[in-house]
Structure formats: C-alpha cells, structure tokens
Chains A and B, each alone.
Chain A
Amino acid sequence: MENLNNYKLGIDVGGTFTDFFLVSDKGMTYMHKTLSTPEDPSIGFIRGINDLASKLNLPPDFLFEHIDTIVHGTTVATNALLTKNGANTALITTKGFRDALEMRRGIREEQYNNRYQNIAPLVIRKNRFTIDERVDAQGKIIQTVSVDELNTLVDILKERNIESVAVCFMNSYLNPDNEKLVTGYLRDKLPHCFITGSYEVLPSVRFYERVSTTVINAYIGIVVPEYLNALTQKLKKHHFKGRLLIMQSNGGVVTPEEACNIPAVTVLSGPAAAPVGAAYFAGLLGFENCITMDMGGTSFDASLVANGQCITSTDGAINQYRVALPTLDIVTIGAGGGSIGWLDSGGLLQMGPQSAGAKPGPVCYNLGGQQAACTDADLQLGYLNPDFFAGGTMKLDAAKTKNAIHEKLGVPLKLSNIKVASGMYKIINMNMAQGVRQVSVERGYDPREFLMIVAGGAGAIHAGEICRELEIPMFIVPDVGPIFCAAAMLLGDLKHDYVRSYMTVFNDIDKKYFLQLFEEMMQRGKTTLIQEGIKEENIEFTPILDLRYQGQYHEVSVEIPLEVILNFQLHLVSDLFHTEHNRLFGYSLEKEATPLEIINLRLRAIGITDKPESISANTSINTKTLDPAVALKNYREVYIPESDNIQKIPVYDGDALPGVCTIKGPAIIEQVNTSVFLGSSYNCQSGNYAALIVYDKEKFPDGISGNAYDELMKVHEKEEA
C-alpha cells in the first residue's frame, strides 16, 4: 500500500468522552469522539485510534506506525485526587510541624456554616512523621539528621505498607541538604516506594504551599507512572514508533519519563490545552488577546491569553488541595448543560452548581432525570433541535422537559414555561459571565479588548448573552470547537518550570549569586530538554521574577527578557514591575522611589516542538461573498433575549454553508456537534479563519471586511472616547 502520509494525533481523555484530532502532514484533519473508559483510559485511547484507522480505510497497525507524535491530555492524576484513590502515602516533616497539611492555615471556607467540615488530608495524621532536624531562616543547618531516627522510621513505613513518601522540611528552600539526605536514604532503603522531596518539586518559600504540593506529587506518584508505563507498552505492541508527549498543567508538554518524576505537573492536564488553542485561533485573526470559554456538561472553564501568552499562576488548587506549581490560570465554575434549576427558600430561582451530569442527565435525555437543567431550558427556548442533538444520534424528549419546567418551577413561581426557561438561561449566563470576569477584570484586564473563543458543545448557545453582559463585541466558534483541547494539544511546546527563592531588597542583590541561580536553572532545563530529544537551537528560556514593593505582602510575577537578566539590568526590571503593578492595581510607586524586594527567581525552559502547520481544515481567507440561502433548513420559534419574546427565525445547516457568507441574526446555525445561536444584535460571518465569526451588528455596521482585530480596536477606542 502506498501512503506517504505521516500523522500527528491529539487525544484528550475527558470524563464522558475521549476526543481525537488527527492531522496528516499534507494538512488533512479528522475529528473523532468515543466514550471514555474510566476503569482503564487506555482502552478508549487505543479503540479510538482503531476507529480512526477504519474511517480512513487503513489497517490499524499501519496508522499506528505512521503517527510520528501523539500528544495526550490525561485525567488520571485529576481523578485520583478527586476520588481520593491515590497511593498509601506518608509525609516526613520537621519536628513541631506535623499538622500543617491538615490545618490548611486554619481556614473554614463557609463561615456561617457550622456543618461545614474540613477536607480530609491526603495523608492521615498517623502517617505524618516528624524528625528532629532544622534549618533556620537564614539557611543555616541548626539540627542535623540522625540516621538512627531514620532507621526506626523506615521500619514503620515498611510495616505500614507505605507506597509513597513526601519529604518536606522547614526552610528547605534555603538549604535542601537535610531533605536531600533523607530522600536519598529512603530511596536506598525503600526501593519500591515513590520518594519525593520538596526541593525537587517546589523549592520556594511558603511552607504550606510547598508541603501540600509535595504531598500531591507523592499521592499520585504511583498511579501516573503505572498508567503511562502501561500505555507506552500498549502503543509499542501496536507498533507505534513515534513520540508520546503528555500535556501539563502549565500548557506545555512533557515526555512520559519526566511526567513520572514529577507527576504533579499533570494535575490539570486536560483543560490546559484550551488557552493554547485559543492563542492560535486568535492569532489567525490578528488578535493577541483572547478569552476562551468551554462549556461542558457540569463545568464551565474560562481562561485568558494576553499579548499572545497564556496566563499562568501559582494559586491553583484541586478539590481544595493546594498545588503551587505554575498552572495555566483556568477558572472553573459549576455551570454547564446539566446545571439544575431550583428555588431557594425565599422563592428565588437559582441555577446549579448541582448538576444532573451525564446520568441521569437533563430531563430531555429521558434517562431518569427529574429536575429541569440548563439543556432543558435551551430546548424549551428553541435553541436545540430535539431531532438533531449530536447530529440526530440522541433524541430529546421535549414533552418531558415542558412538564418538568412547569411542575417544578413554573407552578411555584406562577410563571409561564418560557418565562421560567428564559430566567434559567439568563441566570446561568450571568454565572458564567462572572467566571469570565474572574479571569479578566479580577486580573486587571478589560474584557472588551478581548476576542471570545467558544469551545464545547453547549457554549455557542450561551456565548452571545455572556458577551453582551461583558460588552465583548465579537466571538468566534472554531471548526474544531467540539474537540478543541484535542486539537490544541498539538500546538504545545515542551515546557519546564524551575524556581529558586532569593529574598532580598533590590539594592542588596548579590550579582554573582543571582546569576548563578539562573545559570543552574538554565543548565537543568537544557539537560532535561536535550534528554527529551530537543536540539539546542530549539531551546528558549523565559525568566520570571516574583517582586513586590518593600512592605507589601503579596508578590507580583513579572516576565523579564533573558538578556535583561544576563546583563543584570535591574533598572529595566524595575520599570517592568512598576508597569505591571499599575496594570494590576491601578497605581505604581515609581515616583515615591519605594524600594523593590525580590522573592523568587523563576525560569521556564521551552523546547520548541515540531507542530502541524495548521490544526484547521480551512485557514485561507476568501473575499467572495455568497448567499447562505442554500443552507437554509427551516424556520423555528426561538426565544430572543434582546426583545424578551419568541420569534420565528431561520435555521441554517452549518455544515452546508457555501464558503464565505454573512448570516444575519436572529438565526440558528446547526452543526453536528454544536448549535450556534445568533441573537437579534448579532451577525455572523462564515467561511474564513476556520471559524464562524459572530459580531455585534451595531458596533460593526459594515461587517468585518478588513482585519478583525483592527476593527475591534477601533470600536473600543470609539467607546473610550
């Protein structure tokens, strides 16, 4: 058989579906979805590749042989943490600090709720051990480790069948010698255990953050390597000879070997690809700033890209367990197609966060769901076609939906079904808009300057109203929207984050030591990336400094050009910090000459990977406009939020649109995996940039003939004036 194609494959394993995106080196793309197999995700993984092979009429092993890269987003770590199904873990810490992990600094998230209980720690108190050792606040060892004490401890760990051990000592970020000694000793004596020291995971100041992150690393230190090893074996059996790369929480990728060393980097592996893909699509339209919203069944993820860069933060948590590794800043809120509508005791309508999930699901799924969910409201309002859900593969029961909305909500509220459903629609949109506000306004960004990118099956019905709430004048629905993360994974570079704490006032920085710390991190990054098969010329470094004004408590992370660091141009660093502080908080203390303090030095080492030229079938720009009438399916009664009434509006077949055309709102565009609703304030342009571009018709009266970005900025400037 003559087939000269080679392929790259993105695979995103989610809770319900596993998504596939295959692209050939000739630029052909294929999307696929299969049900996930949570008991062993690799089953769905392999099955999906076989499915793709049969779609392409290829022998399965032939396809395996011709895939040069697989990028994989996995929820193995996430699920182990959510279901508390990780290793039998022990923690060894400094004498006097046994309980920091469980105390969580004494927070109770719900202050008026005396029934609220603290989350159970990942390591029970019995397995939290302390040893007599100490490093002081200047990094001096004032108590060395006793080997006798360690030996006693090793015996207990063996007796308790401990599988994984986290070691985290006070002030080890200043001097890791005691911690190194103990981890080394344990590796020696407990060869079958996963041993991890905080100096390897997160050598930066703040004990609670460090102990929590190190424990998470230990807790998933068995399941993640087991899964990745099994997967690698299976792929080998199918004659896969290419590279397997794993998506990390920081938006980069990593080899399975590295992921096995620090499994905690995969904690948010799945959703991390979304902002990476968003940056790509925004780039096609000439944007450097965009927000992604991904609305699934139970949750809504929002993230932001500014100046072409995904925003990372170290404030993350999963299931309330604190992970302080650099993680893409993704806000997740409990809002999705399954979010349930209910009345509180004052009779006010609320939506979620409780979700009907996939089972029993919304009432219209007819799988036993009794409470009207967001999808039911969408159906009641005419946005969904009961006969064309998931391309017609699943029939929705409109009668059951009507009944549930009426009985559970309409009767007590004394309101019509349309009034109730439109209320559900508005409230959930409001909740999601608040999620978007969290990643934008609360981080000092004005959402009106951003392009909204809509992913996930349910998103495009709600995007218009979310954008109106936030005054975002334009959103796009990419063609790969329904499997957005799987496609976006192919765009990730290898990324490794390093950190060293160095706390001092700016004027006292020891140049030699400062540069030495960066040099160490650069060496480590380089060695790791070269081991991962990256050529030296494809390695880049991004330094980041955590800085604050003297006297402040919270620091601000500022990205600094490498040459500024290497040339030790501190005045340029100051300028960058003042600017960033001003952007975040609306003022800087440049004029007051308040001294700066440095807290942490960070380095991101990036290995540029070989990427497909495009992750979309159609990125060319056409200018000839055609009439969309050929794709008109019918008319249907739909709720129009702008005028708060029901109107009969056209429904188009999104898969039959004839190249470039403009569709005027109000209208519905139905595609196999998603439905797009245009309210009366929107028009939509199809056929360009591999996406439907939806824009506010008042703000863009002439459409978006030119560069969409320039058009948006013009609108924004007009409003500012």
Chain B
Amino acid sequence: MQKVDQILVSIFQRSFKAITDEMSISLTKTTRSPILCEAKDFVTGLYDEKGQILEQKENLPILSFSLGPVCKMLIEKYADNIYPGDVIIHNDVFSLGNQNNDVAIFKPIFFEDTLIGWSAAKGHQADIGGAVQGGYNPNATEIWEEALRIPAVKIYEKGELRKDVWDLIFANIRLSMVQEDIKAQIGACSLGERRLEKVVEKYGIDSYRTHKQALFDATEKMMRAEIRTIPNGVYEGESMVYYDGKHVGSTFPIKNHITVNDEDIVFDFSKSSPQTNGFVNGTYTSSCSAITLTFLQMVDPNIPHNEGMVKPLEYIVPEGTILNASYPAATTFGNHLCPQIADSIFKALGPAIPKRVTAGWNHLLCSLFTGMHPLKDQKYVDICFLGMKGGSGALHGVDGYDHIGMIDASGGVLDQDYEMYEQQTPHRIIKHEYLPDSAGAGQWRGGLGVETEIMLGADHTKMVVFGDGDKQGAYGLFGGKGSILNKIELNYPDGQQLIPMSKDIIDDIPQGTIYHQIAGGGGGLGNPLNRPLELVIKEFENGIISKKEAEKNYGLIFYQNSSIPDIEKSKKFRNTQNRKA
C-alpha cells in the first residue's frame, strides 16, 4: 500500500467530479426526450472495481442511489465474464432498480487488463413498454402491466453490438426516440471510461487505489462527524399515503424509527404499511434513495458524494412493505413515495435537530398528456412539469423555496419554456403564476405553490394523473401553519367538470377543455406573528399574501375599509397576541 498524499486525495476527488459533470453535460446535449434534455431526469456516476461510488452527478437524486447497489450486483453476476468494450443495460426493480422507466447503462473500465471501475448513466425513458405509454399505469397490479423487465443484459460484448438483443428490447418499446436516448447514455459512459483511464494512467494504479480509499475514509469521517451532532436516541416519525389507485378512501401509513448511536444511524421502516395491490409501492433502492437524499438535506451540502458518504447510513426496509414490495408487484409509483418518506424522517428528527429539519414539502400531483398534435399530425407525450411544482417546507431561518417541486428532485427538474410548450403540444397556457396564500404561514413561510390553467387544443387527449397531496397539505412545524391542498380539475366545453382521482386515467378529453391545476405550497415554520412586520407588508404589497391572510395569520391590521396597513396598531396587536400565547 502506497503512502497517502493528502493533496492527491483532493486531486482525485476533483478529477472524479469533473468526469461525472462532463458526462452529464454530454447527456443533456444529445438526448431527445424533453424529460431528459429539458427536465434533466437522469444521473451519471463513476464506480470503482467493487462497485463503490467514486462520484455521482445527481440531477434527479431519487435515481441516484440505486446505481451503486446495481453495480455491485453486476460484478457478482458477471464475475470473470467482464471485458473491455462491454455495455450492460438494466432497469429491473426486482434486481435493485429503482423504477422501471429509469434505465441504466453500465460500462466497465479497464487499465492494462485490470478492471478499475465502471461508468454509468441512468435516465427516465419516455416509454418502456407495458400497458400504458409513458409507463405510469394506475391500473397495474403486476410489473408486466407496467413495463418491459430488463434484468442486467449485455448489449455490447467486447465492443461488438449484440444486435439480436438490441432488437428484442426495442421491439417492446413504443417510441424509437428511446433508442437514440439509450445511445446517448452509452456515449456518456464511453466518455467517463476514457477520462478515468487517463487519470489512472497519469497517477498509476496503486496511487489510484490508495487515494480513492483515503477519499472514502475522509468522506466517511465527515459524514460520521455530522451524525455525531445529532443527540443519541430513538426517534419516531409517521406520514400517510392516500389512495392506491384501486380502493377509494384507502390509506397507508409510512412509519420509521431512527436510532442514532454516536456516529451510527439506522433508518428502520419495518412498521410501515404492507404493500398495496395497486402500483403505489416502493422498491428497495428507491426507498433507500429517498432516505439518503432526505438525510443529505440535513448535513453539510459540500460533502463529496462517494461511498464514504453512504457507508454510515444503515437502512432497514423489509420486503413485503409498501416501501419494498415483493415480486411481482407493480411499483412505478415508488419514486413518488419520497415526499412521505421525507416527511416521516423530518418529523422524527425534528425534536433532536429542530434547526435542520424543514416543515412539510408539497407532495407531487402530476399529469401526463398524450395525443396527436393536429397541426403537425404527430404524436406527443408531455409530463406537465410546470404545473406540478409546489413549494418546499420552511427551515429555521429560511423561507421555503417557491415553486421548487417535489423533494425527489429538489429543484433539479425544470418547467417547460412556455413558448416551446405551445409549439410542441397543441395546448395553450392561460395562466402559470405563483398562487397567493398557497404557502403555510410562519415566522418563516413555506415556499409558494403555483396555479396553472391550460386550454387543451386537440380532441381525444388522454391524461394520466399520478400523485398525492389532494387529501392532506404540507404540514407546518413549531407553530407554523400547513399549506393548501393540491388539485386538478377538467372543465369541459359543455360546462361539465371532472375532478380526477390522485391516480387516474381520463380518456377522450375534447378540444377547448380547460385544465386547471393547483400545486400547493410548503409548510411554514415558527409562529407567523414573529415574522418581521415589514416583510409581511412587503409580501402583501407584492400580492404574495392576501389581505385576509395577512389579517388572519400574520396579525396585520388595516385602516378601516382600506388596504393600507396600520403599522402601530399591528405591532401592538402582535405583541399582545404573542403574550397571550
């Protein structure tokens, strides 16, 4: 073993990071599906010869933490059968994939005949076969109704395309675009391969081995130091999932107990609800990703993302629960259990580290439109990202982030550009604005939600709805208030209104229908009466909060019959109210 050079440790870390960043840029520029190139619903990573994370570029965190486990599985599965030029494809949720649509490409990396690592790229594909285009099938009870299963299989061996395998896979996928996007992922992996080879060539294989281990150790030390700042104890938290797509009124609790013991932390979700027989089920790795990304929001954001970071985290997510459904359950909704998992963790750790947990985030409620563009005579698929992005929960000292969207992505998934949207779909956007009073009030308020109105521009539009948050809003914390509910409604041209369930498919929607969506805000934190008066007035003037909300929650008093705040009276009122409390 070589002697560790602290400086070289930093240099290796920077190199790994530069490589995964570059892979990510390459993927953004070359993919076609807007889900990838606009919304960046993908992740790139580098792993060592044992499948340990060297670095990841996590555009969409919920996808990220299943690549390492799959890489380890591949090493075991292929053992002596791994060659330079191999390319392996994988999506299977029953061999550690996180979601059927999230398809991963892995490429082994060699240096002078020795396996030194892997590059990987995983992205959410526009289609992956199954019964419903786009993959979200609220009617599914088994995986085959959702997607084509791809357990690890080589699509290239020793640099040769296995055309028969390729054809078999893509014969089962609706859109030819997916082939192009998979090619782009292979391209990104080849880039990562070339770059890592260069680094190892430059510093030597022994130095690489020594220093990546030292990097893991240093990172683990950072992570353990963070865990030490949480008082020892057993903490419990709970949240609720509403409706499985099958049984109206059904509910499914998510329950954890979290044990902190010095520098170890165990997340135990054993007491969560048993799995459902709909598609509202998590997979082991999507649930672990959700736990990890939530915990990462409570520690130093500059910790490098490698094996050392995840090593101190222990997960107990037993098979058969809603967070780790048994074969052959339907699981496409699993990524979207992340908000509930996050809620339960924040709630559990709130008493221990009150300044590091946020109030509730808005839970995703989303729709996906498919149909024909009459002017172009072309099929389109569009996930309505701009409508679904609600607010984040407030944190001690900081308001929630407005219109950030689901915690699974934490601001990594972007709105479509309005004008491009109107070119690519037949629909016209009527409104997309912050929704006043949508955030939970608090000394620090929640992030704002948005209101969206879209006029559908073609007959026979099909809409798939998936999500939650229409029964319970984001919760407030430490005296902060909760937020409003999510809502989707269709107002047909004939005057009828349809409010879909939170998991639903609506067919044959006519042209001229108005789609109306409310994405709620985040929960507030702390007593709203302690919010600085000048800030309350400013937000009232900016139309972020209404007069009614300002009076009711923030104790702002107006001169009679006017919209002019009476500052003196307001101050007095807020003081007496606070004293009473």
Contacts and interface: CB of A to CB of B under 8 A. Distances in A.
Contact of B414 (A105, A207, A434): A105
Interface string B371-409: 000010000000001100100100101110111110001
B418 interface: yes
Nearest to B413: A106
A137 B418 CA distance: 10
A426 B7 contact: yes
B37 A344 contact: no
A208 B225 contact: no
Contact of B402 (A100, A118, A422): A118
A106 B222 contact: no
A207 B358 CA distance: 33
Contacts of B434: 98-99, 102-103, 125
A170 B419 contact: yes
Contacts of B389: 106
A111 interface: yes
Interface string A418-436: 0100110011001100100
A124 interface: yes
Contact of A430 (B11, B541, B544): B11
Contact of A554 (B13, B37, B225, B375): B37
Nearest to B61: A111
Interface string B1-24: 000001101110111001000100
Given A96-B453, A97-B433, A173-B419, A112 B296 contact: yes
Given A118-B402, A344-B222, A551-B177, A208 B417 contact: yes
B504 interface: no
A206 B417 contact: yes
Interface in B409-424: 409-415, 417-420, 422-423
B460 interface: no
Interface in A76-97: 95-97
B221 A115 contact: no
Contacts of A206: 417, 419-420
A413 B6 contact: yes
A205 B418 CA distance: 9
Contact of B410 (A112, A138, A413): A112
B293 interface: yes
A107 B412 CA distance: 6
A207 B409 CA distance: 23
Given A171-B422, A430-B11, A434-B14, A117 B415 contact: no
B123 to A, nearest CB: 14
Interface string A117-149: 110000011100000000011100000000000
B512 interface: no
A56 interface: no
Contacts of A554: 28-29, 37
A458 B22 CA distance: 27
B32 interface: yes
Contacts of B552: none
B233 interface: no
A552 B32 contact: yes
B500 interface: no
Interface in B302-319: 302-304
Given A118-B402, A423-B10, A112 B22 contact: no
Contacts of A584: 29
A513 interface: no
B543 interface: yes
A111 B417 contact: no
Nearest to A351: B10
Interface in B206-231: 218-219, 221-222, 225-226
Contacts of A99: 403, 432-434, 450
B10 A348 contact: yes
Contacts of B177: 551
For chain B, give the interface size range: 35 or more
Contacts of B417: 105, 205-209
A586 interface: yes
A586 B6 contact: no
A239 B28 CA distance: 55
A345 interface: yes
A442 interface: yes
B22 A106 contact: no
B56 to A, nearest CB: 12
A350 B7 CA distance: 9
B32 A96 contact: no
Contacts of B61: 111-112
A126 B542 contact: yes
Interface string A588-602: 000000000000000
A720 interface: no
A11 B403 CA distance: 44
B404 A349 contact: no
Contact of B398 (A107, A114, A587): A114
A463 to B, nearest CB: 18
B293 A427 contact: no
B14 A431 contact: yes
Q: Identify which of A99, A110, A124, A209 gathers the most chain B CB atoms within 10 Å of its CB.
A: A99
A344 B230 CA distance: 20
Interface string B55-88: 0001001000000000000000000000000000
Interface string A557-580: 000000000000000000000000
B10 A350 contact: yes
A704 B172 CA distance: 60
Contacts of B161: none
Contacts of A441: 22
Contacts of B423: 137, 205, 503
B542 A124 contact: yes
B249 interface: no
Contacts of B375: 138
Interface in B79-106: none
B96 to A, nearest CB: 23
A585 B187 contact: yes
Contacts of B385: 106
A230 B218 CA distance: 57
Contact of B301 (A102, A112, A126): A112
A137 B428 contact: yes
Nearest to A98: B433
Given A117-B398, A118-B402, A430-B14, A112 B218 contact: no
Contact of B22 (A96, A346, A437): A437
A551 B7 contact: no
Nearest to B295: A112
B411 A106 contact: yes
B297 interface: yes
B218 A103 contact: no
A125 B38 contact: no
B420 A205 contact: yes
A705 to B, nearest CB: 31
A643 interface: no
21 contacts: A97-B429, A99-B434, A103-B402, A107-B414, A110-B301, A111-B410, A111-B412, A112-B296, A112-B301, A138-B375, A171-B422, A207-B418, A345-B225, A346-B222, A349-B6, A349-B10, A422-B7, A427-B14, A431-B14, A434-B14, A553-B34
Interface of A: 95-100, 102-103, 105-118, 124-126, 136-138, 170-171, 173, 205-209, 344-350, 413, 415, 419, 422-423, 426-427, 430-431, 434, 437, 441-442, 503, 551-554, 584-587
Interface of B: 6-7, 9-11, 13-15, 18, 22, 25-26, 28-32, 34, 37-38, 58, 61, 177, 180, 183, 187, 218-219, 221-222, 225-226, 293, 296-297, 300-304, 358, 375, 385-386, 389, 392, 395, 397-399, 401-405, 409-415, 417-420, 422-423, 428-434, 450, 453, 541-544
The 6 closest A-B pairs by CB, nearest first: A108-B411, A423-B7, A96-B431, A346-B222, A125-B542, A137-B422
Given A106-B389, A348-B6, A553-B37, 12 more contacts: A97-B431, A97-B432, A100-B418, A106-B404, A106-B414, A111-B58, A111-B61, A137-B419, A208-B418, A346-B218, A349-B7, A503-B423
